[in-house]
Structure 1
């Protein structure tokens, strides 16, 4: 799939769909998409190493729903402030670290911050694209990527009936995918 060709249109569709969501729907969407990132390799260790916090995934989801986000926002802000790419000892973050830290940042931002929710969805595409480009099975990852774009739009259409939305949709969708290090 030529992701660049489709990404602009897809981003516009996501934006359009998210504009009409309520606060409750946005919180639900943040927690559902975040569960995808929980599946990435070394999630807990990356959060511990980079943000200097131990994370309980269930508590994080609960805190997003309840709006108790400061305990996550402060470490993210501090971590971002400590990055000095011109320092002699600067070490560029690994791509998996970037995916996970961006997901935590976006998931714990204000529900009024619509671009952060968009970035959670687009980040899933970025992860799949990364695996397509750097794994030894590009066709497999391309197949997942081909299915992900329409899935996101269908999923966003279904959110209008929250009683039919499974909070573990993304986790179930990708639980059998091997997100090994590449």
Structure 2
């Protein structure tokens, strides 16, 4: 599969489909995507290391549901201001760390539609990363292909104005060896 071509077309489908979702659908999709990232072995450690803020899954989800995102957004802003890429001791982040930090920022963003698009694309990027750096790229390629299909199904559910399951990603990936790379 030409993954670049498929992802480019998929990104366009997301950009066209997500803005028509209801506020509840966007919130539920944001929570579902965030639950994928909580499955990564170092999600909480990475967030707390680079964005000094306590992160607990249930508390964060409750804050997303209730729109209490300002504390997270402020912590991200402070963290971004403190980064000096020209400093002698600057260390570039590893790719997986970037995916985690981007996902956290998307999950706590007030710009719901763009945040959901970004979060869904971060899931794809994360699976692509695993494919590129694992000992079993065919396994990850299959998951990546299935993820594109799954996200397209989510878009169909949005268009049909159906409720989304916030545990869909947790259930979908709970048995996937995300600590194997």
User: Normalising TM by the smaller chain, what interval?
Assistant: over 0.9
Taking only aligned residues, the RMSD between alpha carbons, in angstroms, comes to 1.3
CA distance in 2 between partners of 1:176 and 1:167 (Å): 17
1:51 is aligned to 51
What are the equivalent positions in structure 2 for 1:1-182 lying under 5 Å apart? 1-110=1-110, 112-159=111-158, 160-162=161-163, 165-180=164-179, 182=181
Deviation at 1:96, TM superposition (A): 2.0
Q: Which runs of 5+ in 1 are unaligned?
A: none
Deviation at 1:99, TM superposition (A): 1.1
Count matched residues: 179
TM-score of the two chains, using structure 2 as the length reference? 0.94
> CA offsets per residue over residues 5-60 of structure 1, 9 Å max, x none?
11111011111111211112111111111101101121111122111122110110
CA distance in 2 between partners of 1:100 and 1:69 (Å): 17
> CA offsets per residue over residues 66-107 of structure 1, 9 Å max, x none?
100011111111111222211111001122211111111011
TM-score of the two chains, using structure 1 as the length reference? 0.93
